[in-house]
Amino acid sequence: MTTVVAPRPAYTVPLPGREALHLGDRCLVMGILNVTPDSFADSRPLLDPANAVAAALRMEADGADLIDIGGESTRPGADPVPADEELRRVLPVLRALHGRVGIPISIDTYKADVARAAIEAGAVMVNDVSGLERDPALAREVARSGVALVLMHSRGSSKTMYAEADYGNVLAEVAGELRESIATAVDAGVRSEQILIDPGVGFAKRASHSYGVLARLPELAAALDRPMLVGPSRKSFLREALGGRLAPARDWGTAAAVTAAVLAGAHIVRVHAVAEMAQVVRVTEEIRRGGQRA
């Protein structure tokens, strides 16, 4: 009996001012750098820019292929942050990292104004957890600058997302809504090769929905034909299976979800514990190769 692994198609995602992102040969690791006082997953917030920069440099040394910097918590129930406050948090870090890290930097925002300033400070990817629902003007900034764009599936805001977690067929509805986000981006001038998708595990989904999406990632990838980023790290859908553990203690559960995502053909996994999850990804890639050779 052989281990069944899903195909992982190859894509090339252009990045302005640097080598394109070549996706498909192996799953890349994106490190999460939250510079917020209310992150759900970090026991010690990185509010001091110097500490955030040191953390980013550690992530690169530990095996991160990309770093995603966010200045607003998007956890369920979180309060929104004005653009000027979000910029106050992220811009010093982006500017300090310029020329010090060799890997691409992504800005985790749904606001066009924040994206514009972050791109000017060196970000080459925008990670929009709202799939262009919150600020459609963001698509025009991406089109203008040529940066990569991650479109994540969600519904509503941080305050309302669980109330909107009502699905008849979760995979079909996630695929359909992501298809609409892609169309919005393309209509604004974003080239399809700039776009990645994220199924939004843990966002506007009950635990059963998140596990269902993870189990059927190959179907979602086939339906949308774009590279896939998966972010299960420390999220609440893991809580019940882990006996109610708090977010910082969910790394073993995250490792299981990361393994499943890599076997299912994910192009990028977004994680907090970069050193540990980079090992998980490397071993899972060897399993993929073994399954393909057998």
- Is residue 78 pLDDT above 90, yes or no? no
pLDDT at 1: 44
pLDDT at 127: 98
pLDDT at 46: 61
Please answer whether residues 86 and 171 qualify as being in contact, where contact means their C-beta atoms are separated by less than 8 angstroms. no
- CA 84 to CA 63: how far, in whole Å? 32
Task: Confirm whether 159 is a catalytic residue.
Answer: no
Rounded mean pLDDT of 282-294? 85
Please answer whether residues 219 and 259 qualify as being in contact, where contact means their C-beta atoms are separated by less than 8 angstroms. no
The more confidently predicted of residues 5 and 194 is: 194
Q: How high is the mean pLDDT of the chain?
A: 93
pLDDT at 74: 79
The more confidently predicted of residues 269 and 39 is: 269
Please answer whether residues 170 and 145 qualify as being in contact, where contact means their C-beta atoms are separated by less than 8 angstroms. no
- Is residue 65 pLDDT above 60, yes or no? yes
Q: What domains are defined for the chain?
A: 11-293 (3.20.20.20)
Express each pLDDT in 152-203 by its tens digit: 999 987 778 878 889 999 999 999 999 999 999 999 999 999 999 999 999 9
The more confidently predicted of residues 176 and 49 is: 176
**Token pair in block for residue 11:** 């894509």
- CA 23 to CA 286: how far, in whole Å? 17
pLDDT at 292: 67
Q: For 25, which DSSP code?
A: S
- CA 190 to CA 104: how far, in whole Å? 19
Q: Point out the catalytic residue in the list 205, 235, 250, 288.
A: 235
Please answer whether residues 205 and 76 qualify as being in contact, where contact means their C-beta atoms are separated by less than 8 angstroms. no
- Is residue 103 pLDDT above 90, yes or no? yes
pTM of the model as a whole:
0.94
pLDDT at 261: 98
- Is residue 120 pLDDT above 90, yes or no? yes
Rounded mean pLDDT of 65-80? 87
pLDDT at 236: 94
Task: Confirm whether 270 is a catalytic residue.
Answer: yes
Cα 253 to chain centroid distance, Å, stands at 18
DSSP states of 132-173 as a string?
A: TSS-THHHHHHHHH--EEEEE---S-TTTGGGG---SSHHHH
pLDDT at 293: 63
User: Which residues lie below 8 Å from residue 267, measured CB to CB, with a gap of 6+?
Assistant: 8, 11, 23, 24, 27, 28, 196, 227, 228, 229
Phi first, then psi: give them for residue 145, nearest 5 degrees.
-90, -25
Q: Point out the catalytic residue in the list 116, 250, 270, 288.
A: 270
Rounded mean pLDDT of 253-280? 98
Express each pLDDT in 218-252 by its tens digit: 999 999 999 999 999 999 999 999 999 999 999 99
3-state secondary structure of 246: coil
Rounded mean pLDDT of 280-284? 98
**Token pair in block for residue 82:** 């004005």
Give 291's pLDDT tier (boundaries 50, 70, 90): low
